[in-house]
Amino acid sequence: MAVIRNTFLCMSWMACFLVNAQTFPNKPIRLVVPYAPGGAVDVLGRPVAQKLSELLAQPVIVDNKPGANATLGTDTIARSPADGYSILLTSVVHYLVPLFSKNVPYDVYKDFTPIAQIATTPNILAVHPSLPVNNVKEFIEYAHKNPDKLFYGTTGVGSTHHLAGVLLASTAKINLEHLPYKGGNPTINDALGGQIPVVILTAPTILPYAKQGRLKALGVIESKRSKGLPDLPTIGETVNGYAVPDLWLGVLGPNNLPKAIVDKLNLALRQAVNAPEVKQRLETSGFEVTGSMSADEFNNSIKIDTDAFKKIVSSSGIKPE
């Protein structure tokens, strides 16, 4: 009798999930951004959420939850029901945090379901105009002559920006001290005010101020020049052996998110970022739209990307604290 009852309960549970997947969505969706407003992830999330609202015929609400190196907002998704109504807009950094911290309150792989990669964005090394350098070569020469004067701001410990600085210091044999912030917006504010001389941040965060002359963009972190910044050289063009993988941004859900919901969200996200008005807005901001992968393809690409960053961490001798 107990077996029959358990079988019935299991079938009822599965039937409930199937019905939910078929009717999804029938209420507002929360898109958690684990960074402060104004940073690159937030800049990406708002037009995408607006378009998603149209495509899914339900409000998609951006919910900024910065703090604890992005783990505060991310943890809310790890603890959310697997129903598709709470999802996370994050980046490859999500998978790197455990390399730096022992206190991550969730398993970055087991507690999440990859849904869609939607964009990449180049990272840029930039300096305050008061620093007497105009390119990467001059920056390295200055660093050699002033070994105790350079520190760089980023969005946090374990970010791709942090690792980019670690790799630059070791490859160019210069001293760079890391100064982590809680997002791109507070970092850029201190850079503009001259409190920090150097920043490594995403193109959408740097470019508006570089165009105004309030910051000097010196080089692209990744191994290839950006399509949107063809005249800005890569750091690797000056520093042999320097290359950092692309910074991708994508959407994750809680663990065990039903495949039907994953596929529906994946399709809607890809349609949203490739909508002409959204794509143009994102590319103008410095993003490169990559909304072409299925959820399975996105999942398979994650290991390749994270392994490349793990090599940088391993070679630098960094240990989780």
**Mean pLDDT lowest among 30-34, 90-94, 241-245:** 241-245
Q: pLDDT for 57-91, tens place per residue?
A: 999 999 999 888 889 999 999 999 999 999 999 99
Mean pLDDT, rounded, for 200-225: 92
Is the distance from CB of 93 to CB of 234 less than 8 angstroms? no
pLDDT (0 to 100) of residue 188: 93
76 shares a domain with 144: no
pLDDT (0 to 100) of residue 124: 95
The residues pairing with 250 across neighbouring beta strands, listed in sequence order, are 90, 117
pLDDT (0 to 100) of residue 3: 47
- Residue with the two structure tokens 């391993």: 314
Side chain identity, residue 180: P
**DSSP reduced 3-state for 252:** strand
106 shares a domain with 209: no
pLDDT (0 to 100) of residue 204: 85
For residue 201, the domain's CATH number is 3.40.190.10
Mean pLDDT, rounded, for 178-188: 87
Mean pLDDT, rounded, for 251-269: 98
Mean pLDDT, rounded, for 21-33: 92
Question: Domain residues for 73?
Answer: 28-121+246-316
Q: Is residue 231 part of a domain?
A: yes
Q: Which residues of 242-277 are buried (b: 16+ CB within 10 A; e: fewer)?
A: bbbbbbbbbbbbbbebbeebbbbbbebbbbbbbbee
pLDDT at 17 over 70: no
Mean pLDDT, rounded, for 130-150: 94
Q: Is the peptide bond before 98 cis (omega within 30 degrees of 0)?
A: no
